[in-house]
Structure 1
């Protein structure tokens, strides 16, 4: 089978999910995969060796200012003519299947050329009646039509009674004793604002990764780091907790490694606001709508959480793709959820939720 895998390049969560899949694809001789990324300039990606000679396009993305989505800047940055030209340029006819992670160019190219397409994304989970932010009509339209596919396979922390898969965790399990260090990843916030949030807590050490940091350096109790997958993973596995925006993949890793989590969702971003709501409902994290030192102080005193064991090997999914019986999604999801282990505290919270059986 020959597959084109389209990945939304805004942020790092979609890339992290695709990286897990790429490592597994690279071990197979019965499948060939090419990768297409859009959403940022090619030079801004990092640790991309696993994807080989991937294609990169401008695509569509959102622009942020001081932790909020700027609708004006987002519309200003959109290049619709270029987008349409790129959609027409991509030769999806050369592929048996297009896998899509909320990437518009490959999705629309597949749709226009009637090539089978499957969405494997967190956004696809929101087509189901699951816990989520109320949102607007615009949010609902984006969810359904930004990157349309023939089949939507959502990914989430729980299935809520629907054909939704668990997340795959890229990192190997490492038994690192917790340190007094906290990882901070707030890429949509200004560096000065993050510094002001953390400065009062001099008795704690913070390691802050930020896309605007070009040279690693230390200021007081805050270590500022440039983006690095391996460095980030090392800190994540050994830290006592994580302060971050409400992206899906990092939160999934925190749950898998048993790291307590304080999230500040990106204002105006439907997915992150929905993630915050779900984490709070499941008792898996604490949320703040603004960078609030009082909430940070309260959170620092909280104990560690029990870990959730999510699968790391996507071979079950890959075998399912190769069989081409793509309507048999319930059996696929059942197999994958059988690999998940929830602690009793989470099971208790799940039992309180109204579940609509699939």
Structure 2
């Protein structure tokens, strides 16, 4: 019997999408052949498998802890997006899987190819998934999240299993098998703040050591109580050994921190609806969520931080099987 073949589209604008793909694709390859498409600007992150389609895609522009929607729109490439969408050959594939990646999703839609959205964002297809109390004021953002990588079918991932189509977090084996330690430092990954903003802010806490990871850092450097590193595989080892984690309200790394029972402080990226919703879900789990990066709020957390109960995680092989079952005969 001929092996089934899928195209896996990865949104390269967030570390979580790439991290999930790295965890999931080896398990998928036990059952089907997998080709990879990636779009977005964080493609400098190492990806173990060959990438068949490497597209420009869309990305968000962040300034001062918020999305700059005007610059995001002006720096998009709509004509390139359309060219890329129709340049793919989808005939060899039995199904397309998209992790919130729009080129593979809309290319499948216009070619009548079965496509399934496998992402954290697709968990919001269900209204059982937590929202910010102000969600009616974000109806355009809700529609954006629904139609950015539009599919009719989905398997979502979230902190808890809110319905049968939503699975617990899919984590890397290194995180699942890790033996967490407490080496005294605080790991920091705040993608929406510039590197200089973070240096200036965390130097205000000389009694604490911070390990800051940023995509605009090229070499490891030490500045007073701060160790600054490029965004790389060393990030996970820093978190495993940390005494706390400070991040925006993304999904993947916060799920890893919760699994590792790390004290967690989250600052949702302003004007990004998904982050507000994640913040609402994290609050229900006992996580400290603050609206701005303010000295007093961070100091209070540093003084009172406590480990949180671990969350359930997904059996990656079972999740891979659930995806394969979606292939239509």
- TM-score (structure 1 length as normaliser): 0.85
Q: 1:155 to 1:172 in 2, by over 3 A?
A: closer
Aligned residues: 318
Q: 1:325, 1:99 → 2: CA distance?
A: 10
In the alignment, is the contact (CA less than 8 A) between 2:37 and 2:51 conserved in 1?
no
Matched, 1:198 2:202: yes
Q: 1:280, 1:31 → 2: CA distance?
A: 38
Counterpart pick for 2:186 among 153, 167, 182:
182
Q: 3-state SS of the aligned residue for 1:277?
A: helix
Match of 2:211 in 1: 207
Aligned-CA RMSD value: 1.7
In the alignment, is the contact (CA less than 8 A) between 1:6 and 1:35 conserved in 2?
yes
Q: 1:177, 1:320 → 2: CA distance?
A: 34
Match of 2:51 in 1: 53
CA deviations 1:255-314 (Å, max 9, x no partner) are 11101110111110111111111101221x111211111111111122222222413x42
Q: 1:141 to 1:165 in 2, by over 3 A?
A: same
Match of 2:150 in 1: 148
Matched, 1:247 2:250: yes
CA deviation after TM superposition for structure 1 residue 162, in Å: 5.0
Match of 1:339 in 2: none
Q: 2:241, 2:256 → 1: CA distance?
A: 12
Q: 1:60, 1:200 → 2: CA distance?
A: 35
Counterpart pick for 1:227 among 226, 231, 252:
231
Q: 3-state SS of the aligned residue for 1:93?
A: coil
* Gapped regions of structure 2 (runs ≥ 5): none
Q: 1:137, 1:304 → 2: CA distance?
A: 35
- TM-score (structure 2 length as normaliser): 0.92
Q: 1:156, 1:244 → 2: CA distance?
A: 17
* Gapped regions of structure 1 (runs ≥ 5): 327-358
CA deviations 1:201-233 (Å, max 9, x no partner) are 21111100011111101011100001112x111
Q: 3-state SS of the aligned residue for 1:208?
A: strand
The answer to which structure, 1 or 2, has the higher relative contact order (CA under 8 A, 6+ apart) is 2
In the alignment, is the contact (CA less than 8 A) between 1:125 and 1:155 conserved in 2?
yes
Q: 3-state SS of the aligned residue for 1:94?
A: coil
Q: 3-state SS of the aligned residue for 1:73?
A: helix
Q: 3-state SS of the aligned residue for 1:52?
A: coil
Q: 1:307, 1:166 → 2: CA distance?
A: 12
Q: 1:316, 1:324 → 2: CA distance?
A: 13
